[in-house]
Amino acid sequence: MSRVKIAVIGAGSIAWSSKIIHDLLHTPTLFGSEVVLMDIDQGRLRLVEGFAKRYASELGADIKFIATTDRREAIRDADFVVNTAMFGGHSYYEKMREVSERHGYYRGVNSTEWNMVSDYHTIWGYYQFKLALEVARDVEELAPEAWLLQLANPVFELTTLISRETRVKVIGLCHGHLGYKEIARALGYDPEKVEFEAIGFNHVIWLTKLTYQGRDLYPLIDEWVERRASDYWERWRLTQRDPFDIQLSPAAVDMYKRYGLFPVGDTVRGGTWMYHWDLRTKQRWYGPTGGPDSEVGWMLYLARHEWYTGLLERVASDPRLSVSSFFPPARTDESLIPIISSIANDQPAVYQVNIPNMGSIDGLPDNVAVEVPAEVSGKGVRRTLGLKLPGKILKAVLWPRMMRMEMALTAFLEGGRQILIDWLMLDPRTKSEKQAEEAWEAVLSLPENQEMARHYRG
Ligand code: NAD
């Protein structure tokens, strides 16, 4: 059992805070540890602190929680720094989306081929990049031996940026790979008993292996596609309630047919514009909600976010409620806390991680973050070398996605307007240079974007 200091930056995160706390309180190998919850939003901070302390005392779990708005104090001498902070809150990005749409950019200038995810902020993520880099620089200075676990998006861009610009040991994490479980279930297999491998870039990962007791399950996927998919889709179209229920959607199967491997998790949300032109197109490929990134699906997601905030408020403040009754009795499927335990207690295990490639996947540069399985222990991260993807996926999917990542990083690091215009000149929605100019002018003119405008206007 190791006692460590864990700093959580952006601890008010609705997507992450309660899960992290729940998993920690169900991990006796980390008991005795200190967790510093840090956020700039006092209200959220109090809410999460109240929730954590009540839950810990209810379970009798030996984890000490401290709350602060001082990031440097939180990070100082930490063993692990978890970054879940998202600059500006969801409403800020919705404003940029609305302004972009007025200029002909459905779902915003940020949406591009292989990144349609509504809170994966790349080209308009100036402040989010800046915040993530500041956190990493604090780690470099105040806790140079710490591991930085980057959960806030865009994990692909930020893990690459941090690994290039600092000496920090960074791992990007995402739960999207768990989509393999739905594929296994559809084939009639217990997901806990199959073995899988899904590799690529974060949100662009492809199933390179699915086996049960050594038997390749890909032929069963083919059989499912041929014989069962259309019945499945008929029922699914009538019953789809959750916009995230798209792992076996027509879009996923179409991507499989085009590229030769099954897309996993958030990968299905991406693809080219052929799946995303407008709501009707999205509904054809992703079901009645149009998937999580349509105007309908994203509204449902944001409403759920609000609802969950309210639930946490009630649970944290009403002493008559038992916190544990709202949560599962065991740890969730998230790998963050198990990874911390593996490192702190030197217990090697294999996890899905985002790390600089360094030879993990053939045909990709070393200094780009790839998502791969790797062994994590007290000795660090041990990659498997020489993993392979088909040429079609490498050249037609990963390279174009990597090019967008490089453009977003260059825009952030070097500034200037031209790269923003170039970004849109590659976009099939752009009909003229004037349209691209006007769209960016409108985005940069938002009152929240004054600093970002100075960076890009020069
Ligand atoms: P949220 O708005 O609920 O939480 C973000 C928190 O960051 C807020 O409490 C906010 O006050 C805080 N914050 C903002 N600026 C800060 C600063 N300068 N310093 C410290 N804290 C600051 O957002 P959310 O829905 O919980 O999402 C959080 C992040 O997690 C997003 O980037 C989202 O895309 C990402 N996410 C990642 C995954 C994954 O699998 N990796 C899954 C879901 C969400």
145 and 282 in a single domain? The answer is no
Nearest residue to 90 via CA among 305, 281, 317: 305
Nearest residue to 155 via CA among 94, 207, 83, 208: 83
Nearest residue to 132 via CA among 94, 84, 167: 84
Residue 260: other Cβ atoms inside 10 A: 13
Q: What is the number of the ligand 1 atom nearest to the C-alpha of 10?
A: 21
373 and 431 in a single domain? The answer is no
- The Å distance, Cα 21 to ligand 1 centre, comes to 15
- The Å distance, Cα 31 to ligand 1 centre, comes to 26
Is 266 marked active-site? Answer: yes
Which two tokens mark 4? 């460590």
Torsion angle of alpha carbons 410, 415, 416, 418, nearest 10°?
A: 20
Residue 266: other Cβ atoms inside 10 A: 27
238 and 326 in a single domain? The answer is no
Q: What is the number of the ligand 1 atom nearest to the C-alpha of 15?
A: 26
Give the pLDDT of the chain (458 residues) as one tens digit per residue.
679 999 999 999 999 999 999 999 999 999 999 999 999 999 999 999 999 999 999 999 999 999 999 999 999 999 999 999 999 999 999 999 999 999 999 999 999 999 999 999 999 999 999 999 999 999 999 999 999 999 999 999 999 999 999 999 999 999 999 999 999 999 999 999 999 999 999 999 999 999 999 999 999 999 999 999 999 999 999 999 899 999 999 999 999 999 999 999 999 999 999 999 999 999 999 999 999 999 999 999 999 999 999 999 998 888 888 888 888 889 999 999 999 999 999 999 999 999 999 999 999 999 999 999 999 999 999 999 999 999 999 999 999 999 999 999 999 999 999 999 999 999 999 999 999 999 999 999 999 999 999 999 98
219 and 341 in a single domain? The answer is no
- Which of 382, 410, 428 lies at the terminal end of a domain, its last residue? 382
Residue 112, in any domain of the structure: no
- The Å distance, Cα 428 to ligand 1 centre, comes to 30
Residue 219, in any domain of the structure: yes
9 C-beta closer than 6 A to ligand 1? yes
Residue 97, in any domain of the structure: no
CATH of residue 44's domain is 3.90.1820.10
- The Å distance, Cα 85 to ligand 1 centre, comes to 4
Residue 399, in any domain of the structure: yes
- The Å distance, Cα 14 to ligand 1 centre, comes to 7
CA distance 385 to 374: 10
- The Å distance, Cα 112 to ligand 1 centre, comes to 22
Is 175 marked active-site? Answer: yes
Q: What is the number of the ligand 1 atom nearest to the C-alpha of 151?
A: 41
Nearest residue to 245 via CA among 173, 186, 171, 302: 186
85 C-beta closer than 6 A to ligand 1? yes
Residue nearest to atom 23 of ligand 1 (CA): 13
**Chain mean position to CA 16:** 11
3-state secondary structure of 240: coil
48 C-beta closer than 6 A to ligand 1? no
- Which of 344, 361, 382 lies at the terminal end of a domain, its last residue? 382
**Domains identified in the chain, total number:** 3
61 C-beta closer than 6 A to ligand 1? no
174 C-beta closer than 6 A to ligand 1? yes
DSSP string, 146-206: PEEEE-SS-HHHHHHHHHHH---EEEE--SGGGGHHHHHHHTT--GGGEEEEEEEETTEEE
Which two tokens mark 395? 């050249």
Strand partners, 5: 34
54 and 196 in a single domain? The answer is no
- Whole-number pLDDT of residue 245: 97
165 and 189 in a single domain? The answer is no
Write out the residue range of the structural domain in which residue 427 sits: 395-450
Q: What is the number of the ligand 1 atom nearest to the C-alpha of 305?
A: 25
82 and 159 in a single domain? The answer is yes
- Whole-number pLDDT of residue 328: 84
- Whole-number pLDDT of residue 1: 62
262 and 279 in a single domain? The answer is yes
Q: Are 209 and 196 in contact (CB under 8 A)?
A: yes
Residue 105, in any domain of the structure: no
Q: What is the number of the ligand 1 atom nearest to the C-alpha of 309?
A: 3
286 and 340 in a single domain? The answer is no
Q: Tell me the per-residue pLDDT of 232-278, one tens digit each, with 9 for 90 and over.
A: 999 999 999 899 999 999 999 999 999 999 999 999 999 999 999 99
Residue 408, in any domain of the structure: yes
Catalytic residue from among 39, 266, 293, 455: 266
165 and 66 in a single domain? The answer is yes
302 C-beta closer than 6 A to ligand 1? no
327 and 374 in a single domain? The answer is yes
CA distance 359 to 244: 33
Residue nearest to atom 15 of ligand 1 (CA): 87
247 C-beta closer than 6 A to ligand 1? no
- Whole-number pLDDT of residue 2: 77
End-to-end CA distance of the chain: 53
- Which of 248, 275, 293 lies at the terminal end of a domain, its last residue? 293
288 and 219 in a single domain? The answer is yes
Q: Are 296 and 279 in contact (CB under 8 A)?
A: yes
- The Å distance, Cα 250 to ligand 1 centre, comes to 31
